[in-house]
Each structure stands twice: as structure tokens, then as C-alpha cells.
Chain A
Amino acid sequence: MRQPPHSRRDVLKYGLLTGAALAGLSGCSAVPRRPDPGTPPVRGGVYSHGATGGGLKDTLEPYFPVTNPDISRVMQLYEPLLRWDATYEIEPSVAESVTPNTDNTQWTVRIREGVEFHHGKTVTAEDIMFSLATVTDPNNTGSGGTELATVLELNNSKIVDPRTIVLQLNSPYAVLDQLLAEYTVGIIPTDFDISHPVGTGPFAYRHFVPGQLSQFVRHENYWDGPAWVDELFIYDFADDAAKVNALLAGQVQSIDNLPNYLAGTIEQQGASPLVSETGAWVPFTMRVDVAPFSDVRVRQALRLIVDRQQMIDQALNGFGVLGNDLYAPFDPAYASDLPQRMQDIDQARSLLRQAGQENLDVELVTSSAVGAGAVESANLFVEQARKAGVTVRLNKADANVFYGDRYLSWNFAQDFWNTRNYIPQVATSSVKGATYNETHFEDPTFTALIDQAKREPDPARRNQLLHDAQVIEYETGGFIIWGFKRQLDAYSNLVQGLEPHRYLPCSNFRFSRASFVRQP
């Protein structure tokens, strides 16, 4: 009965024309069922996505997406040389291959044949060099390639032929491909102009209003198969209720970051939740260089106090996976063989007694600015610690205070991290000199293992080195990692093609794979 809404106007028209007919009927009768996965996709239509957050800071800049809607836009316009697939494994994108030499100091990039920018130009080695130079430019204050800039030596890198480049590194780096697969390292043409942003992505730029919306059209010559829909709108939503209402009213076909508690209700109203595993974590951070946390027994005791399952159930509404004080769960080197740490109040008490801290009294700094699950888990920790005789005083700081002068020097606080693999994560959070080393962790053996692993070309040997490094963190680190968040998004039952993805929300924002379905 219900025709596929080929545009927002059609949806409206439909709504208005049949309004009278619908009046008096319960809305439930009009609610579309979730489509059969085998339904063939329909070409055409205008797809609208509701993105969470955003505001006047919004930008289309490829190397400095600030807000969540920015990331969703960057994913339409630009593409990196490599990309993460749904299981968080690297796959080729603009490049058909990126391969290291034997000691990981030179990486050869082979560009896929016939990849076209939106304005029709074919991607060449010059464009790649230009893009890498732009993203690693130290004067580019919002650079998304900070880490890349520390290893890449562009002056000594060479263009071999229009489709081949040899990238020179200043030191061996075994996982350069992981840095090149980040969405912040998109490829742009040498004639790039931000007022008419051009990339190789599945959709081309049409219109943009910061804080409100952006409009895109299908890139017909997209190398990975043109999108099913003709046009794409991405709307900013400051308010969760407005976002969900827009989905249920059929004004948008998908939304990212559905509030957890709504997962059940939307299913009765013609929409489906989309749940993805992620490697995102909200750790408690203990400074390993100041008392009382400088005593490893205190750190272990606090890790044993945490009831991890309760935190997942209550702070994340059940949308989480158990953590084991380790990060980077999708890294092939993830030390999943280490015993799962569970709540053990007796053991915690005993460790505290040994450390002479029976009546431990600590301040925990939290803030709603840390994101979903932070304040909730901090509150739970206060309760759980009480069982072990530990007094935790909660300091709920304002965003400006939390991320103010004392950020990264709080003795006991929280922070948030998104999915990353082990080596890049360590470089930003867990070695001396890392920008965000909240725990002030600094272990010579650990650093040596990481350095060795970066040079190690053999994956098996590299993974062993990284495993040994994780054992050190597991035993002496300053993080309490109680779980990994599950990503929850939602889509209308009138569309299909979105699937769980471990990298970015809403099927990695790959709306080129989404299509409308004809209802029987």
C-alpha cells in the first residue's frame, strides 16, 4: 500500500494527502515492517540522515572534522588510501595496495586504476603527495594526521610513476597502513578548494549550512559502485527527541546514536535499531606516579573493586562488552588469553591492607563532558568501593574545569577513547611524551617492547611483542577499563543496506550502500 518515499516532499505529500484517510485509524496499521533482507534494492530517492550534535563549528574540511556530523560528511566526500571494513580489518580503497619493505622504513603505495574525483579528474600520485603534505603540515592547526607527521618523511618520498609512490619513514613503523586508513587522511586533488570541496567519495558536495544540514548528490563514476539513492541530506540534530521523532515521522531514514533506552520502543513504530560492537572505552585513569596510586597494590585493588557487569548493565543500559583493563580489542595482538578480572572484594581489601591503605580515601573527578556512561559509572564506582571500605569522593567538574588546566594531571579521573588498534593507541596515551598520557604511565620495558614491535615486519613476532607489552599494562597499568561500548543507531524499515560496523556509527556512514525498499 505504502509507496517508497522517493523524496522528503513525497513523504510530506503522502502524509498530507492520506492524512484524512489515516485519521481515526491507529498509527500502528501504517507502521512498515522490517524488510526481508533478500528484497532487491530500488534505485533512486532522496535519503536523509539525522546526525547527532554539530553546530556552528561544523566544517567540510577533510583533515579536521570536529563534530559527529562533520565525520558523517567527511565519509561521503573523501576517502583514504585504505579503509576499515565492517570487522575492523584494513581493506584497499583509493590505493589497491600499500606494502612495506623488509624493515618497515619504506612503504609502496599503488593507486587503484581509474579512481575519479567528483570534478572528473583521475587520482594520480601528485594528488596523493599533495594530500599527505596537507594532512601532515605542522602549520595546519587542525591536522588529523598528527601521528602520521611524526613518522612520514615526505621530502625523501618519491613518485615512481603516476600510480606509484614510495613513502619514506624516519623510523620503522610496522602499522603505517593503520594510520593511512583513518577517515582523517582522505585524498584530495591538487586543486582542492574548501569552498567547493572535492574528493573521491560516493557523494559529491552540493550545499552546506553549518549547524543545520548538508546536501550531496551521487558520484556517478564512483569506483566502488555508485550509490543507490540519488541525493543525500545530512541534518544536524541538537536534541535527541527531535532526532528520533524525525525518524519515526519518516523525515529521515536513519539516525546515529539512538539513546539506549529507546531501542525497544522504536521497533513498534516502524524503525529498527542497529547495534555494532566497538572498541570505544571510558576508563578510570589512575596516575601511576603519585600516591596512593604509585603503589601497584592500590591500583590492583581498585581494579578488583569494580563490578564490570553492573557498570555495563547500568551505565550503558546493557549496550557494552566486558573489559579487562586492556584496550584495542580488535587488534590481532589483543591479549584475550589473560584471565578476566572480576570483582573480588576480599582480594582488594587484602591488597589495600598490604599497602597500608585500609581506610583509603580518594577523590574521583568526573564530568558529563566525558560522554555517555562516564558520570553513571563514576557513581557506581563510589558504591562498589564502599564495599571494600574505600571512600571515593566524587567531584563532578564542569567541562571547562575538567578539560581545563588540570586535565591530564588529575590523580584519579576518567576519559574517553574511540576504537583504535594497539600501536596507535599506545602512541597517544601510554608512553612517555604521548599527548594524552592521563595515567603518566612510563615503563622502560614496555616502551622497549613497543619500539621493537614497530620495527618488526613479521606479524606473528610483532603480536608476541605487543602481547608482552599488554601483560605489563594488565599487571601494573593505571587504567581501569571496565567495558567497551556498543554503538547503537537506528534506521527506518523503509530502507535497507545498513549493517553493523565496528569503525564508525551508522554502518560507517556508508549511505551509498543504503536503498529504499518497496513495501508489498
Chain B
Amino acid sequence: MTDLVTPSAATDTTASAPAPPAKAGWPWLKWFARRIGLAALTLWLCSVLVFFATAALGDPVRAILGKDYGSSPERAAALAAELHLDRPVIARYFEWLGGLLTGDLGNSVANGLPVGELVGDRIVNSAVLVIVAAIVMIPVAFGIAMVSANNRGKRADGVIQIVMITLAGLPEFVVGILLVALFSTTVLHVLPAVTIAGGGAPPWFVPASMVLPVLTLVIAVAPYVARIVRSSLLEVLDSDYVELARLKGVPERIVMRKHALLNAIVPGIQVIALQLAWLAGGIVIVEYLFSYPGIGASLVDSVRNSDFPMVQVLAMVIAAVYVGVNLLADVLSILFTPRARTAISS
């Protein structure tokens, strides 16, 4: 089923599209440029929000020093200078934005190390977790949707629906704790309970330690995707042209694969994008529960330490993932929707 989203499938549909590809180039580029421009604008607005929201939180020096603020004025002064707090807020914003664009992310207040160095590995770790979860989740969700749609109204469908709704209603930490109790601590002792096993190596060096975090994320998002895809499948299966195909003697299996599934992909992409974007910001709990060395834990840690440079960069990373995933989803949706492609081209 994974081949549905691979380039070969995409080119297949493009080839069968009514508009000749040669003519389509120019309007496509314009459409694409506009979407990129909009994405950039969104990110810029995010940067304004992130920066001024953190600036409005009050005196960061006081927040950082806590109990020591009163007793060591020289540290307070040094910290204020380090954070350029003596300069007007607008000037600080542009300085920060310039740094962000040129890759100079500043230094962490908590330990003075460059932010880039501190978050680099963690961003990769989180990205791997989300991507692995997506790779597992997408076929699983589509598979469940197909089984469910095939058995519409029967017992199997009913059971699947109840399980999906129940899982969708469970918070991730409950799912995570149950999985740990089941596989690591209480019932069975077959999987690591936390991702510390590598002794400092990235968690995926010990694949077993990735199983439970990935499973938790899959259980958290798959029900939504499966339910949307199922209803799109049913919609297509009820349509006139599928009825016609059936009447022409096309076997049900082919109907499902060639017609229904292809048409259910677009709503699927949209809901997957939403869920993945949510994962980017929402893995905090999962990372906490499994002691996973990702951005979620460091975001919480940075907020607690009032480490503003870290908070700002991590917030921007999460915003960028949101914007990026949505952009990708839009492009894919257009590619998979002949009518939309035609609209752009003409």
C-alpha cells in the first residue's frame, strides 16, 4: 500500500491527466512560488509572535537567576549584557532574525553553549521518531480503513470503529504507560521502558528502545487518519462511477484499489499532514515518558530554565515543521487531484 504515495503512482496519475504537461509548467511555477511566498510570510509572522511573546514575559534575567537574583547583582548585570537587554526591543528582534537566517542561533543562557549545537542532535532525534511513526502509521491507518470499509455495517467494522474511537479518546501518556506496563515492567519484560539503552548513542541505534515510543505515537494518530480515510472510501464506493465499474464487471478488489483508494488519498493526505504537524509539537509527552532525547524534553527544560534563546529557536523549529508539512500536503493534494491541477494550469 505504501506505493500509493511513491513517485511512480504520482506520475501514473499525471500521465492520465487531461492537460498536457508541457503547457502546465508556467502556471504551476507561479502557483508554487505563491505557496512558498505564503509559507515564508507565515513563518515571518511566527518569528514576530515568538520573539515578542518571549520578550513580553518579563525580565528574563530575573527569571533565569531566581533565588540568586538579589544576592548577585554582578551576575545579573553580566547576563543582561549578554542578552543585549540594554538595546531597544525592535533592534534586538532584527538582530535575532538576522542570526536565525544566517544560522547563528545564539547561545543558551543555561550553559552558554551555542543553541545550534545543543538542539541539532535533538531535532534529528525527534525527526526520526516522527518519521518512523509516520512510516508505520500511514499503511496501518489505510489498511484499517480498507478492512473497515470492505466490511461496512458488519461486526468487524463495528468492532474496529469502537476500538478506533476508544484509542482516539485516550491521552498519549495513558497509552504510553499502559504499553510500558504491558511490555516492559509489569506483565512482560521484553522491551526497554525508556530510550536510554544506547548509552549516549542516538536512540535508533537500539531499535528495540524505539518500539514503544513509536507505537504510542501511532496509536495516538492512526485512529484519526483511519476514520477519515474510511469515510472517504465509503463515499467513493457509493458513487455512480464505482457503481458503473462494478456493473462493467470490474472485481471488487480492483474497484477498491484503482478507484476508491486513489480518491481517498487526498483527504488522507490532509489529515496525515494535520496529524504530523501536531506530532511535531505534541511529542513532548511521549518524549518525556520515554526519556527520549528530543526537542520536546528540551523545550520544557528551556521554558523551566527561562532559557529564552533556546525557547525561541525550538518554537521556530516547530512552526517551520507545521508550515513545511502543510505546504507539502497542499502540493501532494494538487498532484493527486486532476481537477485542481487543471484549474491551476488553465
Contacts and interface: CB of A to CB of B under 8 A. Distances in A.
A407 to B, nearest CB: 7
Given A55-B305, A400-B62, A249 B189 contact: yes
B177 A15 contact: no
Interface stretch (B5-13, B24-32, B132-140, B290-298): B290-298
B199 interface: yes
Nearest to A2: B189
Given A12-B208, A27-B185, A213-B199, A241 B289 contact: yes
A84 to B, nearest CB: 24
B246 interface: no
A269 interface: yes
Contact of B185 (A215, A269, A407): A269
A17 to B, nearest CB: 10
Given A238-B301, A239-B291, A15 B194 contact: no
B274 interface: no
B332 interface: no
B190 A19 contact: yes
A242 interface: yes
A291 interface: no
A68 interface: no
B195 to A, nearest CB: 9
B208 A213 contact: no
Interface in A57-76: 57-59
Contacts of A435: 71
Nearest to B115: A56
A516 interface: no
A251 B200 contact: no
A212 to B, nearest CB: 5
Interface residues of B, number: 52
A141 B75 CA distance: 7
Contact of A238 (B185, B187, B297): B297
Interface string A237-263: 111011101101111100000000000
B48 interface: no
A211 B108 CA distance: 13
Contact of B293 (A15, A22, A212): A212
Contact of A27 (B189, B290, B297): B189
Contacts of B180: 245, 249
Contacts of B111: 56-59, 210
A56 B291 contact: no
Contacts of A246: 193-194, 196, 291
Contact of B304 (A55, A243, A252, A405): A55
Nearest to B301: A55
Tier of interface size on chain A: 35 or more
A52 B339 CA distance: 57
A215 B200 contact: yes
B204 to A, nearest CB: 14
A505 B200 CA distance: 24
| Most A-side CB within 10 Å, residue of B71, B197, B306 | B197
A239 to B, nearest CB: 4
A211 B300 CA distance: 12
A27 B187 contact: yes
A403 interface: yes
Interface string B65-92: 0110111101100000000000000000
A249 B69 CA distance: 41
B172 interface: no
B96 interface: no
B16 interface: no
Contacts of B144: none
| Most B-side CB within 10 Å, residue of A15, A250, A407 | A15
A56 B307 contact: yes
Interface string B138-165: 0000000000000000000000000000
8 nearest CB pairs, A to B: A19-B190, A249-B193, A245-B193, A248-B185, A55-B301, A249-B184, A56-B110, A57-B110
18 contacts: A12-B208, A22-B188, A27-B186, A27-B188, A209-B200, A235-B196, A235-B291, A239-B291, A241-B289, A242-B290, A248-B193, A249-B189, A249-B193, A251-B192, A251-B193, A251-B194, A251-B197, A269-B186
Given A248-B186, A400-B58, 19 more contacts: A15-B192, A19-B190, A27-B186, A27-B187, A56-B301, A58-B111, A141-B75, A238-B288, A238-B300, A238-B301, A239-B288, A242-B291, A246-B193, A269-B186, A369-B66, A400-B306, A403-B69, A404-B69, A408-B70
Interface of A: 8-9, 12, 15-16, 19, 22-23, 26-27, 30, 48, 55-59, 141, 207, 209-213, 215, 233, 235, 237-239, 241-243, 245-246, 248-252, 269, 369, 399-400, 403-405, 407-408, 435
